[in-house]
């Protein structure tokens, strides 16, 4: 099909929040966003417009990678069904890639797609030489208020608020050692660690053995839902019950925080983490396939 005439690519930061939300959902009640009618979208991205109509939007996030000299670029977006196969998505993704490639010598662009995503979206990414990287399984468990009893009394476990330099450094060291060699892992620095600990609803749980940090987990609580972002245990403590102790602590804290449910994502190939989730009563509720491509400048 022919390209759309008068197509203009603009930065998403020039659009109002109501415009962006309204495009992504036909069911958005814009009256609820009246208070934000004059607020501009705060993130990175591009929109394709023809006259006054929005035809497509692509949002992206740029994050320094754990791999030195590498940037991770996570993308999401949509194109109006009537304008697919008319190079709207191509124009948007080309703009995003151009910006991302200026940030580092090596850039990994990642597109997460629901397992049931339409085949045309996969074909579109294939045109840019994206390949399937992995599948993330989303686990969820309802919280009934009953404390989980697996491995809860062996280790010293506490919520950490920060401001202890030796512990900050231990957290970073464990994070980097645990994720070395894994796909698409963001870098974490002392500055970013301190910033995260100030976020409302964010908690870092530490697990120590005889005064030595051997595990930690990040969790977020929002609107009575808890999301476990990560759970790490030092290799020296694999098979000792440390991960179960940390998992039990997360369940107790989520329940104490008034959460109705707790969830988290695990790579489909990560059998130890999947077994941990299942031992604690989690069940798979959905999955995401991640497609990506590496650009080297």
Residues 98 and 145 reside in one and the same domain: no
Residues 26 and 100 reside in one and the same domain: yes
Angstrom distance (rounded) from CA 156 to CA 213: 9
The pair of three-digit structure tokens given for residue 125, joined into one six-digit string: 């990414």
290: left (phi over 0), alpha (psi -120 to 50) or beta: beta
- What pLDDT, on a 0 to 100 scale, did the predictor assign at position 153? 62
Residues 170 and 277 reside in one and the same domain: yes
- What pLDDT, on a 0 to 100 scale, did the predictor assign at position 154? 78
Sign, CA torsion 234/219/192/213: negative
Residues 148 and 280 reside in one and the same domain: yes
Full residue range of the structural domain in which residue 264 is found? 141-288
What is the chain's Cα-based Rg? 21
pLDDT by position in tens, the chain (length 297): 567 778 899 999 999 888 888 888 754 444 454 455 678 999 999 999 988 789 999 999 999 999 999 999 999 999 998 888 889 999 999 999 999 999 999 999 999 998 776 788 899 999 999 999 999 999 999 997 555 555 446 799 999 999 999 999 999 999 999 999 898 999 999 999 999 999 999 999 999 999 999 999 999 999 899 999 999 999 999 999 999 999 999 999 999 989 999 999 999 999 999 999 999 999 999 999 999 999 998
Residues 87 and 148 reside in one and the same domain: no
Residues 157 and 278 reside in one and the same domain: yes
On whether residue 297 sits in a domain, the answer given is no
On whether residue 126 sits in a domain, the answer given is no
The closest alpha carbon to 98, from 88, 89, 87, 109, belongs to: 109
CA 95 to each of CA 9, 175, 201: distance values in angstroms, whole numbers, following the listed order = 8, 33, 34
On whether residue 174 sits in a domain, the answer given is yes
Residues 147 and 99 reside in one and the same domain: no
Residues 99 and 32 reside in one and the same domain: yes
Residues 14 and 72 reside in one and the same domain: yes
On whether residue 283 sits in a domain, the answer given is yes
On whether residue 121 sits in a domain, the answer given is no
Helix (H, G, I), strand (E, B) or coil at 194: helix
On whether residue 109 sits in a domain, the answer given is no
Q: What is the DSSP track for 73-141?
A: EEEEEEE-GGGTTTTHHHHHHHHHHHHHTTS-SEEEEEEEEETT--HHHHHHHHHTT-EEEEEEEEEEE
Residues 99 and 158 reside in one and the same domain: no
Q: Is the pTM of this model over 0.85?
A: yes
Helix (H, G, I), strand (E, B) or coil at 223: coil
The DSSP bridge partners found for residue 8 are 49
The DSSP bridge partners found for residue 74 are 61, 110
Residues 45 and 174 reside in one and the same domain: no
CATH number at residue 65: 3.40.630.30
- What pLDDT, on a 0 to 100 scale, did the predictor assign at position 114? 85
- What pLDDT, on a 0 to 100 scale, did the predictor assign at position 95? 97
The length of the chain in residues reads 297
Q: How many domains does the chain have?
A: 2
- What pLDDT, on a 0 to 100 scale, did the predictor assign at position 26? 55
On whether residue 246 sits in a domain, the answer given is yes
On whether residue 270 sits in a domain, the answer given is yes
- What pLDDT, on a 0 to 100 scale, did the predictor assign at position 4? 78
Whose structure tokens read 């006259």?
51
Residues 46 and 166 reside in one and the same domain: no
- What pLDDT, on a 0 to 100 scale, did the predictor assign at position 262? 97
């Amino acid at each position: 099909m022919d390209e759309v005439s008068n197509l203009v690519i603009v930065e998403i930061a020039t659009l109002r929040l109501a415009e962006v939300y309204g495009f992504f959902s036909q069911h958005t009640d814009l009256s609820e966003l009246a208070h934000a009618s004059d607020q501009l979208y705060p993130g990175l991205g591009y929109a394709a417009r023809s006259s006054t109509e929005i035809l497509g939007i692509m949002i992206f996030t740029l994050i320094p990678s754990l791999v030195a000299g590498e940037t991770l670029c996570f993308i999401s977006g949509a194109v109006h069904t009537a304008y697919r196969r008319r190079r709207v998505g191509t124009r948007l993704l080309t703009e995003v890639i151009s910006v991302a490639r200026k940030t580092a010598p090596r850039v990994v662009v990642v597109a997460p797609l629901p397992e049931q995503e339409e085949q045309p979206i996969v074909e579109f990414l294939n045109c840019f030489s994206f390949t399937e990287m992995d599948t993330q399984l989303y686990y969820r468990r309802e919280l009934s208020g009953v404390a989980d009893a697996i491995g809860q009394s062996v280790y010293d476990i506490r919520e950490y608020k920060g401001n202890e330099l030796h512990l900050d450094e231990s957290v970073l060291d464990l994070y980097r050692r645990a994720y070395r060699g894994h796909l698409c892992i963001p870098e974490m620095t002392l500055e970013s660690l301190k910033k995260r600990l100030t976020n409302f609803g964010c908690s870092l749980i530490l697990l120590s053995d005889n005064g030595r940090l051997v595990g930690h987990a990040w969790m977020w609580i929002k609107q009575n839902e808890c999301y476990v972002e990560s759970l790490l245990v030092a290799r020296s403590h694999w098979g000792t019950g440390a991960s179960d102790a940390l998992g039990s602590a997360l369940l107790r804290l989520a329940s104490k925080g008034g959460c109705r449910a707790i969830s988290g994502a695990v790579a489909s190939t990560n059998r130890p983490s999947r077994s941990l989730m299942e031992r604690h009563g989690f069940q798979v509720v959905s999955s995401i396939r991640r497609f990506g491509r590496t650009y080297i400048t």
